Chain A
Amino acid sequence: SQQGEEDPQALSIQEGENATMNCSYKTSINNLQWYRQNSGRGLVHLILIRSNEREKHSGRLRVTLDTSKKSSSLLITASRAADTASYFCATDMSTHNAGNMLTFGGGTRLMVKP
């Protein structure tokens, strides 16, 4: 079963608008990561936020993490048509010295219309 659930499942916006995607998870985590996937391609790592961090920025991306609510959000500002893709959150619950096996949510399919 998947640990994270993204909301919404699909999002359609106009170029220039902001896009917000949410992720909820069930158990304690070490960190939470966001990935992007263009249709039929591999995943591209966007940003990692550790369990002791609350907010992180990278370019037009802003990620927040609320461990008390077991939720995270990804904000893409000033969206572009090239941002059209599926976005996944992934949680790392691995124990010390174990591999960082990621558990992914079902993804949010973002379409940015020019």
Chain B
Amino acid sequence: DTGVSQNPRHKITKRGQNVTFRCDPISEHNRLYWYRQTLGQGPEFLTYFQNEAQLEKSRLLSDRFSAERPKGSFSTLEIQRTEQGDSAMYLCASSLEGSRGETQYFGPGTRLLVL
């Protein structure tokens, strides 16, 4: 399967714990995006990488959130000191830089539940 993959698919954690999610984009894609989706809502943009550089961060991304893409391939999203409000689906997408309007391909998401 050459699509975007995300691990784990589900994560249950207790409030205050740290969690880390991984995203493996489509191999030739140099752009990678993280979105968050709460129940019944559309996804909201969190952050964006072009190769290894993190170029955009949403105001939604508090200091407890950090994302990396060290070698320009896979990316990790870490949430420190989780809160119940962090419970959501975390979606990763990748695209190939080109003319405006490139299609973003989404992974299956990681569903986080903070107890």
Contacts and interface: CB of A to CB of B under 8 A. Distances in A.
Interface of A: 2, 4, 30-31, 33, 35, 40-45, 48, 50, 88, 90, 92, 94, 96, 98-107
Interface residues of B, number: 29
Contact of B33 (A35, A41, A99, A105): A99
Most buried by B among A2, A48, A100, A105: A100
A88 B109 CA distance: 16
Contacts of B108: 41-42
Main DSSP-derived SS at the B contact region: strand
B72 interface: no
23 contacts: A30-B100, A30-B101, A33-B103, A35-B106, A44-B106, A45-B103, A45-B106, A48-B101, A48-B103, A88-B42, A96-B100, A98-B55, A99-B31, A99-B33, A99-B50, A100-B95, A100-B104, A101-B33, A102-B104, A104-B35, A106-B41, A106-B42, A107-B41
B54 to A, nearest CB: 10
A99 B44 contact: no
